[in-house]
Amino acid sequence: MEDASKGLKSPPWGAFWTGVFAKQPVVGQVKTRMEPLLGPLLGPEGSAELALALVRDAEQRLGDQGLGLELVYAPDEAGAWFRESFPGCWLRAQRGTGLGQRMANWFEEVLGDGVSNSGDTAVAVGADSPWTSASRVHEAHSKLRAGADVVLGPDLGGGYYLVGLRRPMAGLFTEIEMSTHGMFEATVQWVQDAGLRLELLEADYDLDVPEDWSQLEQELAEGRAVEQPSDWPSALEAFAKRVRAAQDQKAARPDGGDPGSTG
C-alpha cells in the first residue's frame, strides 16, 4: 500500500493509529543478541530469519483489526523491500538518528499538535513482542480514550513493549535512555514528575536474548492461551521447528559442529 513517509495521502482512517516499529531483517543488523543461540544452528542468516518471522506475526495479529495499523520501518531505504514483503500494509519510514527520536517523531506525525486531532490516540508496538494481541492494543487505545495520558505495556526485561499517547511528548523518549533494563522505571518516573495519568497493561516479554527464546519454546509447546487464531505466532512456530530440527541434527553429529562442519 501507499507509503505515508513519501508525501502520499493520509491513511484512510483517523482516530486510531497503531505503529509496529520494525527493521529490515538484514543479516548481522537485527536480533544480534540471539546470534549465540541461532548462529551455530542456522548460520548467520538465523537472526535475520527470526526478525522476519516476528514482523510477519505482528502484521498477522494486528492487521485488519480496526487499529489503523502501519509498519514503521527502518532504514529509510528499506521502503521497497517492505512494500514487496508486506503489500497489504500501510508503511511509514522512521525518522531520526536514535530510537527515542524516531518514536517521538512518529507520535508527532500521526497526532500533530495533539489539539486539532484531540480525539486521536496512537499506540506504538515493537515487533519483538511475540504475544501482543489486537485486544491488548485495543485496550491501550480504550484507556487513552478514557483519559489516560500515557499507556505502557511493561516488558519483563525492564523496558516496555507498547506505549500509547493522546498527544506528542518528545521528552518521554528523548530524555530517557532507550533499550536499557531501567527504561520502564525511568519512564514511569518521568510521567509521574510531569503530573500525567499513567495506565499499565499486562506485563509480557520481548524476544531479545536466548533466555527469552526458551520461554517462547515452552509456551509454544504448552499452547499459550490466545483469544483468536490470528494471535498465535504461526511464523515463529514454524521458525522454532527449524531451530529444534537443527538442534536435533547437531546433537546427532559426532563432532557436534556448526552448520558448516564437514567432519
pLDDT of 9 reads: 39
pLDDT of 262 reads: 44
Residue 199: count of CB within 10 angstroms of its CB: 17
Domains of the chain (ranges; CATH) run: 4-252 (3.90.550.10)
What is the percent of the chain with per-residue pLDDT over 90, rounded to a whole number? 83
Lowest-confidence region among 1-15, 39-53, 81-95, 203-217: 1-15
Residue 2 has pLDDT above 60, yes or no: no
Name the pLDDT band for 253 (thresholds 50, 70, 90).
confident
Residue 13 has pLDDT above 80, yes or no: no
| Pairwise CA distance, residues 34 & 19, whole Å | 24
Could you tell me where the DSSP H helices lie in the chain? Answer: 35-42, 46-62, 79-85, 99-111, 134-145, 171-174, 183-193, 210-222, 234-252
Residue 67 has pLDDT above 50, yes or no: yes
Residue 64 has pLDDT above 70, yes or no: yes
Residue 174: count of CB within 10 angstroms of its CB: 15
| Pairwise CA distance, residues 136 & 89, whole Å | 20
- Mean pLDDT rounded to a whole number for the chain: 91
**Count of alpha carbons within 13 angstroms of residue 209, beta-carbon side:** 6
| Residue of 147, 92, 90 whose CA lies nearest to 119 | 147
Number of H helices, E strands in the chain: 9, 7
Name the pLDDT band for 138 (thresholds 50, 70, 90).
very high
